[in-house]
Amino acid sequence: MNAAPLLEIEGLVVRYRTGRRTPPVVACDGVDLSIDAGEIAGLVGESGSGKSTVAAAVLGLAPVAAGTIRFRGEDITHVSGARRRALAQHVQVVFQDPFGSLSPRRTVGQTLSEPLEVHRRLGRAERAARASAMLERVGLSATAVDRRPAELSGGQRQRVAIARALILEPELIVCDEALSALDLSVQAQVLNLLQELQRDLGVSYLFIAHDMAVVRHLARRVTVMRRGVVVERGDAQQLWDAPQHPYTRALLAAIPDPDPAAQRRRRQAREPGTTDDLPRAQAR
């Protein structure tokens, strides 16, 4: 018996106006996606694929022209400002840029307390206690509460961003390229952290990335997007082993393998003709 999905996106169309004379850019053209409770769902694509636009639409930051987004059965596509703010307790986000997503003028403690100030009626001591607890949960020491983002490394800042996302105990966290700006060794640490939190807290992720290897490691189901359209979806491991759509195949073939011998083989398999199926990236 399948429970209703936590998040359901149907036929999402998002258009951005770029000027009075030019036609609008269609960032998403009929996207379907669903996430169950406690699931990590991956969304993969290159730049211009529309994956970040899907994230923005879920968070209410994009102009939705058509389609519906349902969260726990409720239609949240065009909700009022007050309802959207209330939804913040259930849907949170971790952005790509660990440097930009934390206000440079506020301490870590202030940034973490802010969601609690807005949504819960808690005293200052209680808020501070929760902030410290959450910091330790994400692998930072509680002394970080008084530091400013400039004093932390990229990995540490991203952990703070994750802590901020978790502090309201949401059901869904949108990870918009949350690992892409991190070094390899840090990426591995944060990846492990995300997995661990998901297991312990049962929170769902909409994990958006351009790196298929990472997504395969983390997610159960994957959706592949290209130029605003979904080209393939399915079980992550299956997609990895046997991609159906030529674009997915090209995407996977393009990932370089650190094993030089394996990489040579892949190159030889790829070069004679496989990418010729696709038109060369059009120059603008």
Partner 1 sequence: MIGAALRRPALTVALGFLVLVTIACVGAPLWVPTDPLQQDLGAILQPPSSAHLLGTDGLGRDVLSRLASGGRVTLLGALEAVVVFLALGVPLGLLAGYHAGRFDTVTTRVAEVLLSVPAIIFLLVVVAVFPASQLATMITLGVLGTPNVFRVVRGSARAASQELYVRAAQTVGLTSGQVLRRHIAPALSGPIIVQTSLFAATAVMTDSALAFLGFSVQPPQPSWGGMIAEASAVIDADPWLLVPPGVLIALVVLALGILGDGVRDLAARSVASVERPRRRPRRAAPAAPRAPGPSAGPPALLSLHGVTVAFPAPHGEVTVVRDVALDVCEGQAVGIVGESGCGKSVVARAVLGLLPGGARLTDGSIRFDGRELAGRSERELGRVLGAHGRELARRSERELGRVRGAQIGFVPQDPIATLDPAFTVGQQLTEVVRRHRGGSRPGARARAVALLAMVDLPDPEQVVRRYPHQLSGGMAQRVGIALALAGEPKLLIADEPTTALDMTVQAEVLGLLRDLRERLGMAIVLITHDWGVLADVCDDAVVMYAGEVVEVAPVQSLFAASLHPYTRALIASNPLLARAGEPLPAIPGQVPAPGAWPAGCHFVPRCPLAVPACSGELVALGGPGGAHRTRCLRHEELAPR
Shortest distance (Å) from residue 205 CB to partner 1 = 14
Contacts (Cβ under 8 Å, ≥6 apart) of 9? 31, 32, 33, 34, 54, 57, 58, 67, 68, 69, 70
Q: Which is nearer to partner 1, 11 or 238 (CB)?
A: 238
Q: Which is nearer to partner 1, 146 or 257 (CB)?
A: 257
Distance CA 15, CA 195 (A): 34
Q: Which is nearer to partner 1, 22 or 185 (CB)?
A: 185
With tokens 């394996």, the residue in question is: 262
Shortest distance (Å) from residue 189 CB to partner 1 = 4
Shortest distance (Å) from residue 147 CB to partner 1 = 14
Shortest distance (Å) from residue 216 CB to partner 1 = 6
Q: Which is nearer to partner 1, 70 or 216 (CB)?
A: 216
Q: Which is nearer to partner 1, 122 or 188 (CB)?
A: 188
User: Comparing C-alpha atoms, which of 111, 112, 96, 211 is closest to residue 154?
Assistant: 96
Q: Which is nearer to partner 1, 30 or 246 (CB)?
A: 246
Shortest distance (Å) from residue 31 CB to partner 1 = 19
Shortest distance (Å) from residue 267 CB to partner 1 = 7
Burial pattern 139-154, b for ≥16 Cβ within 10 A else e, equals bbeeebbeeebeebee
Q: Which is nearer to partner 1, 11 or 144 (CB)?
A: 144
Question: Can you spell out the DSSP letters for 39-78?
Answer: -EEEEE--TTSSHHHHHHHHHT-S-EEEEEEEETTEE-TT
Contacts (Cβ under 8 Å, ≥6 apart) of 264? none
Shortest distance (Å) from residue 217 CB to partner 1 = 4
Question: Can you spell out the DSSP letters for 235-258?
Answer: EHHHHHHS--SHHHHHHHHHSPPS
Contacts (Cβ under 8 Å, ≥6 apart) of 218? 40, 42, 191, 194, 195, 205, 207
